[in-house]
């Protein structure tokens, strides 16, 4: 039996199709419009975070305790690492500034870390146990890959949140020599590979070490930016919570 724990349930554990069209019910967040700022602009911000506890067998709802209101970026993945959920959001108290919002599985520790590149085009993923931030906005043909330092999880230390000292440049590569526009859509969990979609309707696997691209597949429809891609998730026979909840396996 797996010990009781607090956790964020991925969409596939809730029986939701991870390859389906994006829907707010796939995420443990509730959102609403913020009051207008000094410019009269409103943001759709996180107003509630819901965490499942296997100790009680129920969802616990709580208000977010980040330093500012956070507006989630559409289509961005959520990464679970070191017992914390990570997501890219826009800080509504500091307009047009993107950050990495972090909350632990008990809802006790909250932090926003500035991104190494203030860009909507950034992408987060986990590989080799590290959290990667991939920036492809500075050029249509290059990418920069950063890793987040483990020091950020030392919650007792006062962090210099106004400085991106917790990011380390991992790789900087010229991805597509023929200057086709690109979009990072995934990170391999166990290899130095990132997956890229670009304007000639191909999905590429790019080797960060060898700086080589391999065509994975051709898209069957016209590619457009902000098209969503989801990683394959195998069907599980039971939920890894208390061993008592099971999914029906199709025949």
**Are 229 and 182 in contact, with CB atoms under 8 Å apart?**
no
- Residue 222: per-residue pLDDT: 65
Angle at 88 between CA 73 and CA 224, to 5 degrees: 45
* 197 domain residue, yes or no: yes
Q: How far is CA 76 from CA 2, 6, 151, 158, in A?
A: 30, 23, 24, 28
Per-residue pLDDT reduced to its tens digit, 191-206: 888 888 876 788 888 8
Mean pLDDT of 145-167: 71
Beta bridge partners of 198: 182, 202
228 in a structural domain: no
pLDDT per position as a tens digit, 24-38: 333 477 776 766 665
191 located within any domain = yes
Q: Report d(CA 3, CA 167) in Å as an integer.
A: 33
Q: Report residue 46 as tokens.
A: 């996180």
pLDDT > 50? residue 22: no
Q: Tell me, what's the pLDDT at 242?
A: 46
Residue 250 lies in a domain: no
Does residue 175 belong to any structural domain of this protein?
Answer: yes
Residue 224 covered by a domain: no
Q: Do the Cβ atoms of 125 and 136 come closer than 8 Å?
A: no
- Over 70: is that where the pLDDT of 208 sits? yes
Q: Say what the pLDDT of residue 16 is.
A: 31
Domain total for the chain? 1
Asked if 44 contacts 29 with a C-beta cutoff of 8 angstroms, the reply is no
Higher per-residue pLDDT: 161 or 83? 83
pLDDT at 12 over 50: no
pLDDT at position 177 over 60: no
> What's the whole-number mean pLDDT along residues 217-229?
70
> In the beta sheet, which residues pair with residue 141?
none
With respect to residue 25, please indicate whether it lies within any of the assigned structural domains: yes
Going by their DSSP bridges, the two strands 212-218 and 123-127 should be labelled as: unpaired
Q: Kindly state the greatest CA–CA separation across the chain.
A: 57
pLDDT of residue 243: 45
Could you read off the pLDDT of 29-70 as tens digits, one per residue? 777 676 666 555 566 778 888 887 777 777 788 888 888 888
* Residue 180 lies in domain: 6-218
Is the Cβ–Cβ distance between 74 and 142 less than 8 Å? no
Q: What CATH number does residue 147 fall under? A: 2.120.10
């Amino acid at each position: 039996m797996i010990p009781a724990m607090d956790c964020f349930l991925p969409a596939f554990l809730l029986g939701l199709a991870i390859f389906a069209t994006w829907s707010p019910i796939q995420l443990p967040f509730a959102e609403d419009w913020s009051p207008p700022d000094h410019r009269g602009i409103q943001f759709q911000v996180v107003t509630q975070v819901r965490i499942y506890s296997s100790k009680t067998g129920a969802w616990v709802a709580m208000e977010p305790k980040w330093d500012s209101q956070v507006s989630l970026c559409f289509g961005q993945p959520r990464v679970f690492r070191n017992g914390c959920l990570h997501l890219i959001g826009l800080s509504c108290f500091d307009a047009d500034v993107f950050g990495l919002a972090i909350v632990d599985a008990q809802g006790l520790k909250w932090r926003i870390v500035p991104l190494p590149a203030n860009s909507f085009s950034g992408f987060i993923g986990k590989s080799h146990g590290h959290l990667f931030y991939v920036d492809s906005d500075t050029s249509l043909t290059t990418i920069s890959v950063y890793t987040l330092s483990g020091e950020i999880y030392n919650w007792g230390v006062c962090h210099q949140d106004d400085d991106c000292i917790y990011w380390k440049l991992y790789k900087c590569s010229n991805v597509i020599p023929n200057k086709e526009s690109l979009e990072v859509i995934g990170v391999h969990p166990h290899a130095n590979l990132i997956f890229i979609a670009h304007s000639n309707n191909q999905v590429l696997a790019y080797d960060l070490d060898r700086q080589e691209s391999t065509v994975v597949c051709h898209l069957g429809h016209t590619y457009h930016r902000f098209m969503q891609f989801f990683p394959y998730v195998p069907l599980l026979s039971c939920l890894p919570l208390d061993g008592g909840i099971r999914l029906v396996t199709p025949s």
